[in-house]
Structure 1
């Protein structure tokens, strides 16, 4: 057992992949708690896809991928707000228009950009190809994002539960929303190199949804979500090593499996648990009705 755990760690690329996956999983897990409460699942999908042309342009310009991804992440957020606020188009439609257009632009840029590097790894992720410089970049962005989330967690939480009350106590809901969207863009960049733009949305939504089914307290969600995400990252890395499968996809698949188990067997919210509990209540009620009749 110990040998099985230590064997992958003998390779530097596996150590970097594990570190990258855990870092991305933790920061995505923390942010996902607010995304799930606010109902911004589609926004996470939009930002994660919209960064693609920025990454390709960054490659063309010879600058770090994160620079282009951050610029286009903020651009996507701004365009969504612009379309929503200056037209009759509703937010969900604005999100769909912006992210599909930018994602398509990224695919076009990939198809016409001569490259010795396979830019398709941007779409599907390349955990095993993460360099030391990439890991350092990811660590810095993740630390900044996580620090901002934790520092403003009370304000973000009040905004998520009741924007009207947040405004009444002197907070600006629009500023808080914009700040969360900015942190979403940074988080998408962190997870981009781990699982690619296609699967980033899973890491932004599944951990928070899993925690939401396990507890009614937001403070516990902020612990459960990153913990389960990090555990799934490690499990996915090891599974991909021994099964010889796509690494990023295995990380997300592990999260999906954990969510399925929680969805079915969570003590209070699980489908199976609620079904069994309802049956027990019916049997108890039936027994209570029959006992007086037997006694009579």
Structure 2
């Protein structure tokens, strides 16, 4: 899911793959018949970081990067965004037309979120109805867990994440088989942000469903600097991004171990 992170920071290699078979892209429909999308193919990413670390800004920027690829993005928040999230330095600032393709939904209860995700199954791409989103982003997913009327968080996490993945799975198959859509498979990514859970067990429940986990940590002695790296239990992407928060969110350093070092043959 390094492509998701590159989209968050508007890093060059991510511009790209809107027409490829990469996660979140459109696959080739060669052969005349589109193959069904499997649930395991749905791109899923969890961004974990403390309050004030720029999680919302990064998630919003990722949504804008998808909009520029021609996608319809649903950005879900439990609180009203009175101002635009912090701008990521170097990224193209959104124009009114782009913002129209980024639907912001304010859902302040767990029930409202589940109702919306369930309603996706009854939507059809008709002229009289809003088109299905091709990406679902949820800011502060843990808010919906914390407001549940139960002492056990694990079942709530599992239910919310299962609904998210199921909605993305439905969208991916519906739009991939829809003859009025662009030819080829369309994979609907699911990306959410959460604050660091109190223990590793809680994070593991998120990771069961949102399998690519990226964690933001503060840089010691630098109150405005943060570092983002892959914290997944499985094979980790060799990408580390260091950034600073001020008037904008500014990338200071990118380490990608997949890229050859100077002097390498």
TM-score (norm 1): 0.24
The structure with the greater share of residues assigned to helix is 1
Higher relative contact order (CA 8 A, sep 6+): 1
The structure with the greater share of residues assigned to strand is 2
Structure whose alpha-carbon radius of gyration is higher? 1
